[in-house]
Structure 1
């Protein structure tokens, strides 16, 4: 999945992911959400929005991985430890766009809600 770029889209995208899990079962899939550009806003806004935070935390508890673009972090001077919800060094990828391409080459399906 690619992260949306506005609060309403964030919540909609997270609902789509949860619906996907509900239909197939978390144990039957490997979901990665690649966040780049304005998509990082989902984890930034989740720090202060309890509903959004709850959605993100719930998805993470179901083994959904959120990958964050290092190019966006650097370009926008975002401190992932302070500015984003629950991002760790292993969540950061060099380039969000390159990661999307890499995952597709590995057989992942690209879904943009």
Structure 2
């Protein structure tokens, strides 16, 4: 089992093209941990903004009467992928892993697979 710091380090080192990663509480919009990013990628601002994305999708699913769970959300930009993976089980409710990938250096399918593996090992 891995803590937040170890999980974020694993995310950044094991996923090719990773530019930044965060663990976010979408009830508050606060990042519980960040790694990577930089001047042009403020992960704290991104965490708060993506909280709004998740809240909107959850509300929409409720209005539609969908009885399913969000696995992940992908936002594709010209040069980046932004991947949001909602955590499930073991007290992880209300949390998501946020990953920014360089589109030209990453494999989206492998990144999703690795995030799922990292989620399974995360212990809060």
- Report the TM-score range of the alignment, normalised by the length of the smaller protein: 0.3 to 0.5
Structure having the higher strand fraction is: 2
Larger radius of gyration: 2
Normalising by structure 2, report the TM-score.
0.31
Normalising by structure 1, report the TM-score.
0.33
Structure having the higher helix fraction is: 1
